[in-house]
Amino acid sequence: MEILFLEPIFKERIWGGQKLKKVFNYPIKDKPIGECWAISGHQHGSSKVLNGPYEGMKLDDLFSNFKTQLFNNDPSDRFPLLVKILDANDDLSIQVHPDDQYAMTHENDYGKTECWYVIDADEDAIIIDGHYALTKQEFIEKIKQNDLSLWKTRQIKKDDFIYIPAKKVHAIGKGSLIYEVQQSSDTTYRIYDYDRKDDHGKKRDLHLDKALDVIDLPSKDIDVDVKFINHESYDLYHYIKNEYFELTRVDVKQSFVLKTHKYQLCSVLEGHGYVNNHEIKKGDHFILTGQERVEEIVFKGNMRIMMTQRPYESYV
């Protein structure tokens, strides 16, 4: 088993801020940085390996060339997942993502099912999580009238978890710091963008026609059954398992032993410690490579770790 540390990629966004520097001490530019692509093999930004025998390789190339050796011979034709941290210093556009079938046909990209863990949020932070329209015509009419009653809004707070499958209308509100796990896709259809303009005085493009092709009608509310395990050495929160990914948060109080042979995407959101005697700290992102046989991977310290794997097995 290899531990591959990755170099994050930072994306300037009109809604971004400086929390990625303030909270994680990332060396970002003095610009509105909205996204940290922490673990990415996407063509619009692929992470670079920082250590070991694969040092300097990009994750997309690593996946293509060593899929069998390192990634359990994952059936995907490209690296399947993307892990981000989002700094919403302003409201994100109200948007929707297509499913795999539509995205592959129209964008040559994966669809985008995603989920959010709220690292932190202002007291009045909200998200948009669906809409109230029952028909496409009702949706169009309310959009034309700029009728904000169309949107389902709710407040969020630190440690909340939100699941956003493809085709669900959504938006992150300002004052939120979000950890996101998603399919490896960069396809977004904007529905509403608050009539704001970029640095060149130009409004960002909207994609209402494509959005109307894919939105769920009516919008479905989704309940998530978070499973919690309290142990004297750790607390474990199992958030979601779908056809694309399985996400678990582990708050290590002393130690945690992970028994698996599947590759894992890991992020340290708080604290400091060790994984198999390799030092890890807040803001680190790394991949534990896959193996033929189940191995014990030992975490020690005091830290919060997010772990994502493909949905082939549960944590043991």
Active site positions, annotated: 190
Report the C-alpha gap between 39 and 59 in whole angstroms: 8
Report the C-alpha gap between 74 and 224 in whole angstroms: 26
Report the C-alpha gap between 241 and 225 in whole angstroms: 10
Report the C-alpha gap between 263 and 41 in whole angstroms: 15
**Which tokens belong to 141?**
């009419």
* Residue 300, C-beta contacts closer than 8 angstroms, at least 6 positions apart: 252, 254, 255, 273, 274
Report the C-alpha gap between 252 and 303 in whole angstroms: 5
Indicate the Cα dihedral angle 124, 127, 129, 130, nearest 10°.
100
- Judged on CB neighbours under 10 Å (0-12, 13-18, 19+), 279 is exposed
Beta-bridge partner residues of 9: 37
Beta-bridge partner residues of 229: 236
Nearest to 23 by CA among 304, 308, 235, 309: 304
Residue 199 to residues 28, 196, 209, 212, 247, Cα–Cα distance (Å): 19, 10, 26, 29, 37
Are 267 and 275 in contact by the 8 Å Cβ rule? The answer is no
